[in-house]
Amino acid sequence: MTAPRVAGLLLAAGSGRRFGSPKALVDTGSGPWVLTTLAAMAGCDEIVVVVGAEAERVLPLLPSGMRSVVNPDHPSGMGSSLAAGLRAVFDTTSDVALVMLVDLPDVTTAVLDRLTELARGSEHAPQLLARAAYDGRPGHPVLIGRDHFTAVISDCVGDAGGRHYLRAQPVQLVECGDVGGGRDVDSPDQL
């Protein structure tokens, strides 16, 4: 039996209204967040990046051959980007999507690898719903098995993404507080 395939899904389409610029382009000294996040996601079998705001500046930064989706509806909220990304992953052979947000600088490679390995070790990867937890509090990234894609896409409205669907389902929490943090950055003063 082959191990389940994990597609990394990086949501990097937001305009960063509260931050003052798209967070995909923010550089706090190690390069634009879109690239540092992609580097942390290197353990995935494939990666899809959803871009939107300043796409003409973000796309040239992506590694050659990187699969990307431009979400023209990104101003409506993260939900439209999640839906666009899951549709793109649905067209692949991946069993699970590892959904990551670009504005989580405290999520380390070790966090992403922990969730990726959970998916690869699962006998029922297409049914999997799991998410990182930090000191018991649910956070990102989130693992969404293929069997849930259609329902999550239907639930994607505004900035809620798949939050309502996940709250209504049994979701496995994977403690990651020992290897990272789940803090998202919405404004420059949070850096």
Confidence of residue 170 (pLDDT cuts 50, 70, 90): very high
26 torsion bin: left (phi>0), alpha (psi -120 to 50), beta (else): beta
Q: What is the pLDDT of residue 185?
A: 80
pLDDT per residue over 85-111, tens digit each? 999 999 889 999 999 999 999 999 999
- Could you tell me the pLDDT band of residue 81, with boundaries at 50, 70 and 90? very high
- What span, in angstroms and rounded, lies between the C-alpha atoms of 84 and 80? 6
Residue 185 identity: V
d(CA 173, CA 166): 11
Partner residues linked to 134 by β-bridges:
137
pLDDT digits (tens, 9 = 90+) for 11-68: 999 988 888 789 999 998 999 999 999 999 999 999 999 999 999 999 999 999 899 9
Cα→Cα distances 51→31, 36, 77, 94, 152, Å: 17, 15, 12, 20, 19
- Decide if pLDDT at 77 tops 80: yes
Which CATH fold would you assign to the domain 6-190? Spore Coat Polysaccharide Biosynthesis Protein SpsA; Chain A (3.90.550)
Whole-angstrom distance, CA of residue 131 vs CA of residue 137: 10
Distances in whole angstroms, Cα of residue 8 to Cα of each of 18, 141, 188:
26, 10, 26
Q: How many other C-beta atoms are found inside a 10 Å radius of the C-beta of residue 95?
A: 24
Query: How does strand 96-101 pair with strand 6-12?
Result: parallel
Q: CB under 8 Å to 22, separation ≥6 — which residues? A: 12, 14, 15, 16, 53, 54, 57, 58
E-state strands within 71-147: 96-101, 129-134, 137-145
User: Cα angle at 181 between 177 and 187, to 5 degrees?
Assistant: 160
Q: Which of 138, 130, 140 is nearest to 170 (CA)?
A: 130
Nearest-5° Cα angle at 118, 115 to 122:
145
What's the confidence (pLDDT) of residue 10?
Answer: 98
Query: Residues 179, 111: contact at Cβ < 8 Å?
Result: yes
